[in-house]
Structure 1
Amino acid sequence: MEPDQLRAEVERVLADLTDLGGRLGVDVRETVAALRARADDLSSPVRLPDAPPVLGVDACPGGWVGALLTGGRCQVLAGSSLARLVELARESAAVQVVGVDIPIGLPDAGRRQADVLVRRELPGKGSSVFTTLTRAAYEATTYAEARAANLEATAGTEVMSAAAQSYALRERILDADGYVRSGPPVAVVEVHPELSFARLAGEPVLAGKRTPEGQQARVAALRAAGFPVPWLAAGPGYAVDDLLDACAAAWSAARVAVGTAECFPPVPEVFSDGLPAAIRA
């Protein structure tokens, strides 16, 4: 339901409640005022929180592209490794949280609940959430070896082959995994841009992120939240859709920084790597 429609429906219900209270001789003014305030909250866009400097990061063909959100501005950065990108960002601002669109916390066997739950949150866009393979699969140096390793690791739970799309992220996943396990000077959390955009827009953005319609919808959602969308242009190793995903990641990182982000699952899973596996938005 659109915000204006929601407000009109709420006002109709509140008018009925006020009328009923009058006929029953019950003072419902405080109740109506509280419900109207709640309606204002529900019909307002999800605003950009007033957060400390944060960095949103998306994997791209050239490595990583980042959206540094600080002081009401968004600066675009790029780096060949996640460590280098965070280092560049910290040269400009005291980054508190880094939101990365890449799996953090690799399972030993079976599926991650983070992937399962977020896929359910994205009707019509569930295919954008790739199933994270096991650590053994990502440590394999060829796709054939990864498939065999994943089948062996998941035997006895739910036998899972290794999707080529999931394995294609191997280099970026291992880069992020190594960085997070090294004990970085900032908090690094996993995000998913399609979930971020769904929260920003109030529903999943079904138009493809590489299409003009999809990019316009994503820009509109960011701007409605007060996000300072940077100049949108392809750069060294990244495309416009990569940059938009980094902006969405920064929005979620800001919510993490101020403690208002959702977490899927609410209590992160922890596998043998000791990393909390959860997607935040």
Structure 2
Amino acid sequence: MSASPGPDTVPLAGVDGCRAGWIALARAPGEERPRLLVRARFADLVHDLGADAVIAVDMPIGLPDRIVGPGRGPEQAVRRYLGARQSSVFSIPARAAVEAETYAEACALAERLSDPPKRVSKQAFFLFPKILEIDRLLRAEPDARERIIECHPEFAFCRLNGMVPMATPKKIRGSVNPDGITERVALLARHGLPPELFREGPPRGAAMDDLVDAAVNLVIAGRHLRGLTAPFPDPPLRDRFGIPVAIHG
């Protein structure tokens, strides 16, 4: 993407999956304060954000037909930077496994199409419907592939923190960790997002960590528009439909 447009000329959005579907923090040109959106379907969210919006979303984009190593290339590329936070990067299997209808079928396909053979984690399997929402949209709309980018919040925080991973986890045993949220909100404040955005908590259907992740993704969207992000791996791989396979940060 060209670095010539400024962040005040193009809509920006950071998006994360949530219980209700999708949560976004979005900023239109001229807006000082980002606004919150929650939509059940990714396609509806993209439509509402506008045809030229730059969207950074925490969801795997691009599905290789075979996996060599622990996950897709992007997962292998960023995991090494995250220290104790690297467990937040799930390994996503081959396309056929993501498209499977049952967990058993997904595991069988993932084992057959990976080297070394590896089954699917339950956490990753629950992401598959959302992964496929984005996949269907990008297959149908090739022009959207340069403005809808994959990011990963923990890697994004690491990048914004001078390549130092966050000291505390966002969650402990499945529950939101207040210290982890506080650490991330403070870092977001240094990058232009005021703490007031988080004081009312998340909207219905989303959790506090979803809101914080959408916020850091918004920062990444702005940096991407200004040409300040890099793909991991670089250059990006592409799947058989030509969709880029890279985490941007």
The TM-score normalised by the length of structure 2 is 0.86
Q: Describe the superposition over 1:233-255 as per-residue Cα deviations: whole angstroms up to 9, x where unpaired.
A: 12121111101100111111111
Correspondence 1:212 to 2:178: yes
Question: What percent identity do the matched residue pairs reach?
Answer: 37
Select between 266-275 and 239-248 the one with higher mean Cα deviation.
266-275
* Native 8 Å contact 2:17 2:58 kept in 1: yes
- Alpha-carbon separation, structure 2, partners of 1:196 and 1:219: 13
The answer to whether the Cα contact below 8 Å between 1:77 and 1:89 also exists between their aligned partners in 2 is no
Separation of aligned partners in 2, 1:56 and 1:101 = 8
Q: Is structure 2 residue 119 aligned with structure 1 residue 161?
A: yes
Q: CA deviation at 1:208?
A: 2.1
Instruction: Let me know the Cα RMSD of the aligned residues.
Output: 1.7
The match for 2:59 among 64, 85, 102 is: 102
CA distance in 2, matches of 1:180, 1:75: 25
Q: 1:266 aligns to what SS in structure 2?
A: strand
1:184 shift after superposition: 6.7
Say if 1:219 and 1:176 are closer, same or farther in 2 by CA, change over 3 A: same
**Separation in 2, partners of 1:250, 1:181:** 24
- Shift in Å at residue 189 of structure 1? 0.4
SS of structure 1 residue aligned to 2:83: coil
- Indicate conservation of the 8 Å contact 1:57/1:98, yes or no: yes
Would you identify which runs of 4 or more consecutive aligned residues in structure 1 move more than 6 Å? none
Matched residue of 2:38: which SS? strand
Matched residues in 2 for 1:189 and 1:50: separation? 16
1:50-129 matches, cutoff 5 A = 50=7, 52-70=10-28, 71-90=31-50, 95-110=52-67, 111-129=71-89
Give the TM-score taking structure 1 as reference length: 0.77
Are 1:247 and 2:215 counterparts? yes
CA distance in 2, matches of 1:145, 1:126: 27
Is the aligned partner of 1:189 residue 2:141? no
Distance in 2 between residues matched to 1:184 and 1:277, nearest whole Å: 14
Structure 1 or 2: more helix by fraction: 1
Q: Structure 1, residues 22-78: CA drift from partner, whole Å, max 9, x if none?
A: xxxxxxxxxxxxxxxxxxxxxxxxxxx845321110011110000102333211101
Deviation of 1:273 after TM superposition, in Å, equals 2.6
Partner of 1:278: 246
Alignment of 1:1-80 (within 5 A): 50=7, 52-70=10-28, 71-80=31-40
**Deviation at residue 138 of structure 1 after TM alignment:** 1.1
Higher alpha-carbon deviation: 179-188 or 221-230: 179-188
